[in-house]
Amino acid sequence: MPVIHHKVEIRLQDRSYAILISEALGTHGSLPADLPPGSCAVVVTNETVQPLYGAALAEALAHCYPAVRTVILPDGEAHKDWPTLNLIFDALLTHGCDRKTVLYALGGGVIGDMTGFAAACYMRGVPFVQVPTTLLAQVDSSVGGKTAINHPLGKNMIGAFYQPRLVLCDLATLDTLPDRELSAGLAEVIKYGPIADMAFFGWLEAHMDAVRARERTALAHVVRRCCEIKADVVAQDERETGLRAILNFGHTFGHAIETGLGYGVWLHGEGVAVGMVMAAELSLRLGMVDGEFVRRLRSLIERAGLPTQGPMLDGGDNAGRYLELMRVDKKAEAGEIRFVLIDGPGRAVVRSAPDALVREVIDACCGPV
């Protein structure tokens, strides 16, 4: 049995589940006893993660299920689409997988989102387990049941709310994470401070070097605290009818960057990092925060190894292109863009802003990158 450092509960009545944070979970050959029962386990992973952890997870699952199969997808945001999703369905149908099949999402946010969406759709729903191997997935995307694929016109526009049965966060997998991916995950870590916990933000200011050096105790604290905050928000608003939208701080601008550049050119966390700077600047211009808050946020994002200046998406009307892309956003209502803004450090609100003011922010925050 693995030694569990932290356990965070997501309380959703009959859909409740645990997030287990350890250093030796499934990817290193040890699994908890309370896995979902089933006739078959199907590990969904990608070409990058499979050579690192695929065999170890499959071997561990072989002690728990009569059959174990693996589906290996191409790596990257550019493949978060219908054709790649169909590769999962092709494998499930080819192997005659029934409703007692359990899917295991082994990888980062793309694998987690697509495996969860496949689980929600296959035979109208089969159980799945998240085994996130990136910091971004461990602190954010593996938790809360959002599953989706991208559309050429908008990110994550096709999907479902479908909760996993369990989340297994193996901190040892972060040892093999490229530096750029670690930094991208830190964007989702940093966001929790301005929206909910400025004491955690202060902790990050004091310990960012230790986190980037991958000190295990620092990473364990980061993953636990982020999951605690998200668990609390999701328990109150599972389907994002209100409060949960605050978790999208930086994402309205960030998704526009990802879509406008082409999926995969910038990592999701890189777009969110710049998006947080833009959202903070918009909050400042609306009189909701002061300049010192914006300076602290920008400084911490830079120390995380992330960009703070947005790319030019259009040589003619750059701000207009951002606005066009942001109108295709799940928070938009009747074509009106709604932003997650900071109404004083540690508190977020969702509201609109005049296009003219948004244009000023985009112009001030973009340039050659």
**The two three-digit tokens of residue 240, written as one number:** 């994002």
State yes or no: is 251 an active-site residue.
Answer: yes
Active site residue 100: no
Q: Cα 340 to the chain's mean position, in Å?
A: 16
- Given the residues 224, 255, 296, 338, the one annotated as active site: 255
Identify the DSSP state of 66. S
What is the distance between the alpha carbons of residues 280 and 288, in angstroms, rounded to a whole number? Answer: 9
Choice among 155, 165, 225, 251 that is catalytic: 251
**244 an active-site residue?**
yes
Let me know if 124 is a catalytic residue: yes
How far the first Cα of the chain sits from its last, in Å, is 48
Find the catalytic residue in 79, 191, 221, 244: 244
Active-site annotation holder among 69, 79, 165, 268 = 268
Q: Is 331 exposed, middle or buried (0-12, 13-18, 19+ CB in 10 A)?
A: middle
Q: Which residue of the set 77, 181, 238, 240 is catalytic? A: 240
Question: How many residues comprise the chain?
Answer: 369
Find the catalytic residue in 69, 80, 230, 298. 230
Asked about 6 being catalytic, the answer comes back as no
CA 48 to chain centre: 18
Of 174, 163, 162, the C-alpha closest to 137 is: 174
Active site residue 146: yes
Query: Out of 46, 150, 156, 248, which one is annotated catalytic?
Result: 248
Q: How many CB atoms lie within 10 A of CB 1?
A: 8
Q: Catalytic one among 181, 188, 258, 270?
A: 188
Q: Find the DSSP H helices in the chain.
A: 55-61, 82-94, 109-121, 135-136, 179-196, 198-212, 216-236, 251-261, 268-285, 291-303, 318-326, 355-365
Catalytic residue, candidates 69, 79, 80, 146: 146
Q: Is 331 a catalytic residue?
A: no
Is residue 240 part of the annotated active site? The answer reads yes
* Active-site residue list: 124, 146, 188, 230, 240, 244, 248, 251, 255, 268
